[in-house]
Chain A
Amino acid sequence: MTEMAIPLAADRKRIRRRRRGTALKTVRVVAILALSLLWLAPIAWIIATAFKSPVDVLSLDIFFTPTLENFRRAFGPNYMLGDRLWNSTIVTVGTLIVAIPVSTAAAYAFSRFRFPGGAIWPLGLLATQFVPAVMVIIPLFILFRTVGILDTPLALIGVNLSIVIPYAIWMIKGFIDALPLDMEEAAMTDGSSRFRAMIDVVVPVAMPGIVTATIFCFVVTWNEFFFALILTQNESVTLPVSLMSARTDRGDAWEIMAVIGLTIMVPMMLISRLVQRHFLKGLTTGAVR
């Protein structure tokens, strides 16, 4: 009797444990779905709002008749989304075109030449990013006003460079540090100058690092809000700042805000997998302003 009861009890225990296992798995999946809902529902709601008529914006119904009217209005003379999009593009492209070669050159210099104090220089540059933005902006505002470039893309490219270059140098330097010296030396004994060896040999091999830095700079510059808010008035307003224009005295045009928001998000969605891989790698080297 007892001899038979022992395996039975063990069986029962195993079954109970398995049941607990499946119950736990269900709890896990439910928790994961709840999390996704908590993060995606707000974003989905904003995207849906971009396609709602102003009347539907005020209702909480999930179903509505989609319209493209908001896009027509957003691109019209009141909100000039086309201009804002153009400004954002110019500022972002302008920043990247300058930042990436400048940072790559500096990263090579920091990696390959000796400096008293070693890594303290690129690290010190990175540490300037802990300085609050509100402190840097006051003298820059005065400077740009004196030079007469307030409210131009040039001013925005300038400040974005100051945010982005310290990170980019640090990120690209890490990759160049990991490359062996042999390849450059081989190219140099073949008669290339050191500069040529850098361009022809080091830069192609360091490309993954350069791509990481480029994506990081793209995300930061595209999303930058505070400096653009202070430094622009009408002419060179960027997308994130134009979000504020949907808030008027006569009430908030949320459907227009949603259209602008969607425009800001589209490139991020397109590259979200890349962002997951590269942006985070970049962020762990420091902090964003």
Chain B
Amino acid sequence: MNDTALKWGLLAPAILISAVMLFYPIAQSFWYSLHDWNLTQSPDLGAFLGFGNYVRLLTDDPEFWDSVWVSTVFAFFSVTITISLSLAMALLLQGSSPLEVNVRTLLVLAFAMSPALVGISWRFLLSPEFGAADAVIKWLIPGMRDVPILADTRTAMAALVLVDVWHWSPYFMLTFVGALASLPQETIEAAQVDGAGRTRIFFGIMLPQLRSVLTVTILLKTIFSVKMLEQVITMTKGGPGTSTSTVPYMVYETAFRWYDFGYAAAMAYFLAFVMLILAMIYARLTMEGVK
């Protein structure tokens, strides 16, 4: 067997699987997005609309823009809180004492949980009658006593954000532990000798050196946050009203509740376009990091 045959022979199964399961659906849903197609009305693709679905999306669908706003709010808060909290956690847990190592391992358990399990568990923990977390929150903040957390517009969004923070912080904490360990110790020690306080050392020396790691993690978390769907399905179902209906959730509802596949595909492509821009920035930054 010569090398060329071997090369393509080794690649063939991966190419075949990716072609059927990745490239075909990506191309095909673009084709769908150019058509009027509701599965409940016809089993076959309907009339060709050109970019009609996109025009409707951009100019004539306040609900869609509503979901863009919901996604933006969710992404903004979940990214900021997750990244700052996990950096603080990393500073706290970066040591190699048994307590710190074991707590790190235990925290990862939350991250290794299925996203669906995270969502449904917190729905239980936050339920007004017998939720344990709900009881603790209301004991700590008496002003919240009459608020049904997941059924109130403001608190439902806050809960969705905080549960996402709970799920992801352990992962980013470990990333930051790794990043902190790779910082050169000499400058930090020199600053300590010179009598600089912890706060000064953190903001003056560590934070500037963490800049590239921070950029990449922020972008990565933004991508995860924009894509986040499981917790919406399992915790809030987009409600109350449409207050937690993010863009992916709206695509999901349009496709699998109303079976409006053509329009849903157009929405998905719009979302993919945003993701593509984020992914390209991400690829650029990682490539620079590799160099």
Q: Is the CB of B265 within 8 A of A138?
A: yes
Chain B 96-136 interface residues, beta-carbon cutoff 8 Å to A: 99-100, 103-110, 112-117, 120-122, 124-125, 127, 129-130, 132-133, 135
Chain B residues contacting A35 (CB-CB under 8 Å) are 89, 92-93, 103, 107
8 Å CB interface, A68-102 against B: 98, 102
Contact A161 B29 (CB under 8 A): no
Q: Is the interface of A mostly helix, strand, loop or mixed?
A: helix
Q: Mark B1-28, 1 if CB is under 8 A from A, else 0.
A: 1010011101101110110111111101
Q: Which of B54-62, B75-83, B274-282 contacts A (4 or more CB under 8 A)?
A: B274-282
User: Which of B151-159, B181-189, B229-237 lies at the interface with chain A?
Assistant: B229-237
Interface size on B, residues (CB 8 A): 83
For B92, B170, B264, B276, the residue with the greatest tally of chain A CB atoms inside 10 Å of its CB is: B92
Chain A residues, Cβ within 8 Å of B10: 105-106, 108-109
Smallest CB separation, A221 vs chain B (Å): 11
User: Is B74's CB within 8 Å of the partner chain A?
Assistant: no
Query: What residues of A have a CB within 8 angstroms of the CB of B261 in the complex?
Result: 138, 142
A132 with B18, Cβ < 8 A, contacts A113-B3, A284-B175 known:
no
Tell me, rounded to whole Å, the shortest Cβ–Cβ distance linking A30 to chain B: 11
Q: Which among A5-13, A55-63, A179-187, A203-211 touches the partner chain?
A: A55-63
Q: Is the CB of B105 within 8 A of A276?
A: yes
Q: Chain B: which residue is nearest A35 at the CB level?
A: B89
Q: Assess A143 versus B109: contact at CB under 8 Å? Given A46-B124, A106-B11, A165-B14.
A: no
Give the complex CA separation of A276 and B255 in angstroms. 36
Distance in Å from the Cβ of A275 to the closest Cβ of chain B?
5
Q: In the complex, A20→B115 CA distance in Å?
A: 42
From B141-149, B199-207, B219-227, the one touching the partner chain is: B219-227
Expressed in whole angstroms, the Cα–Cα distance for A165 and B264 within the complex equals 27
A138 touches B255 (CB 8 A): yes
Contact pick for B230, options A40, A225, A247, A254, CB 8 Å: A225
B132 close to A161 (CB less than 8 A): no
Cα–Cα distance between A273 and B124 once the two chains are bound (Å)? 28
Which A residues between 115 and 147 are near B, CB-CB below 8 angstroms? Answer: 123, 125, 127-128, 130-140, 142-143
Residues A140 and B251 in contact, CB atoms below 8 Å apart:
no
Q: How far is the CA of A108 from the CA of B227 in the complex (A)?
A: 31
Whether the pair A140, B113 counts as a contact (CB closer than 8 A) is no
CB closest residue in chain B, given A273 = B105
Given contacts A105-B11, A143-B24, contact A132 B251 (CB under 8 A): yes
Decide yes or no: A105 and B125 within 8 Å by CB, A131-B275, A162-B21 being known contacts.
Answer: no
A244 touches B103 (CB 8 A): no
| Among A29, A195, A280, contact of B175 (Cβ-Cβ < 8 Å) | A280
What would 13 A/B residue contacts be, using CB atoms closer than 8 Å? A59-B130, A98-B17, A128-B23, A133-B248, A134-B271, A135-B271, A223-B115, A225-B115, A226-B229, A243-B117, A265-B109, A276-B104, A283-B171
Query: 7 other contacts beyond A128-B18, A240-B117, with CB at 8 A cut-off?
Result: A32-B99, A43-B109, A102-B17, A105-B10, A223-B113, A283-B171, A288-B224
Chain B residues packing against A (C-beta within 8 Å) = 1, 3, 6-8, 10-11, 13-15, 17-18, 20-26, 28-29, 32, 89, 92-93, 99-100, 103-110, 112-117, 120-122, 124-125, 127, 129-130, 132-133, 135, 166, 170-171, 174-175, 220, 223-224, 227, 229-230, 233-234, 248, 251-252, 255-256, 261, 264-265, 268-269, 271-272, 275-276, 278-279, 282-283
